[in-house]
Structure 1
Amino acid sequence: MIIVSDTSPINYLILIDQIDLLPQLFEQIIIPQAVYNELSDSLAPLPVQSWTVDTPSWLKIQPVSQPTDEIKNLLDPGESEAIILAQELNADLLLLDDMKARRIAKERGLVITGILGILDQATSMKLINLPNAVQSLKNTSFWASDSLFQKLLDKHC
């Protein structure tokens, strides 16, 4: 399977100490250079910056071959490059959280999931304690409606 990720899912999985879910669920994740740049940026949370110092073997950084696309004017660099790379690679799945970016990705025929979908899948595989993971996620800057969090919890608890 070809899995491409934007910054957000990786960022929040690092912050809630669940980054090891990605290789357990997907074996390899491909990110564009812009996503790596966002993760390692001095404005990124310190645990995220530190994590990028030793890039794990399951994370592959791949540049996009079509650097110009109209979505570059609509989204941040990581989101736009992740969508473009997912299209170039004919990815099976794109990990993406931002609502505007998700809408554009869907319009382009991409299959997407975000951090909540990752936690859902990990819970189904009995890899995490969902209430703890959700509480940890709520303690970050990640935003989702309380009803969305509750829907996920109700599904498994």
Structure 2
Amino acid sequence: MKVIVSDTTSLIALEGLQSIELLCAVFESILIPQAVLNELSAGSPDIIKKINAAGCIEIIRLEPSEQLISLQLVLDLGEAEAITLALERQLPILIDERKGRSIALQKHLIVTGFAGLLLLAVRKNVLQPSIAQSMLDQAISNGFRISDKLYRQVSATYQAEQIMLK
């Protein structure tokens, strides 16, 4: 995956870890819709500077469409715009909320989340598995939510990746 569309949650988790630039190490370009930027800047006014400094994140303004309006009936605006953008550009999406992920999958999008992003970083030799695990644990401490089942699966994968490095 060279280009991906991102929703808000993974960006918030990365900002909490002061690691927005990790996106640029894993992807050539990250597209975020204006509504996602608005959600981010409402929670952290400094994030716009960090996004601009990253150099690989592009803000996209979407025109109203039937697809967007339909998605807004069941999702928040950021998720609706992110899924619409991914559909319009036929790109994978970085999205963590269960309902948004489910809808993205129903629409046949390639979906990953924050834990998957960390795993991609490990597989691209951007992060050591132990660092990825620490980042996931810190994100959870910061308020990122992940099911126990997924946490165990991801942790086991990081451990397997660590063993393969030895």
Moved more, 74-83 or 2-11: 2-11
Residue correspondence of structure 1 range 73-88 to structure 2 within 5 A: 73-88=73-88
1:60 corresponds in structure 2 to: 58
1:101 — aligned with what? 100
TM-score by length of 2: 0.84
Could you say which residue in structure 2 is the equivalent of 1:89?
A: 89
Unaligned runs of 5+ in 2: 160-166
8 Å Cα contact 1:31/1:60 also seen in 2: yes
Q: Structure 1, unaligned stretches of length 5 or more?
A: none
Q: Secondary structure at the match of 1:61?
A: strand
Tell whether 2:158 aligns with 1:156: yes
Structure 2 equivalent of residue 50 of structure 1: 46
Distance 2:75 2:17 in 1: 25
How far apart in 2 are the matches of 1:119 and 1:103?
21
Per the TM alignment, residue 26 of structure 1 is displaced from its structure 2 partner at its CA by 0.5
Total equivalences in the alignment: 151
Q: Is the 8 A contact 2:3 2:28 kept in 1?
A: no
* Residue 18 of structure 2 corresponds to residue 17 of structure 1: yes
Identity of aligned residues (%): 32
Residue in structure 2 matched with residue 116 of structure 1 by the alignment: 115
CA distance, structure 1, for counterparts of residue 146 and residue 40 of structure 2: 21
Q: Which one has a larger percent helix, Structure 1 or Structure 2?
A: 2
> For the aligned residues, what is the CA RMSD?
1.5
Comparing 140-149 with 79-88, greater Cα deviation is found at 140-149
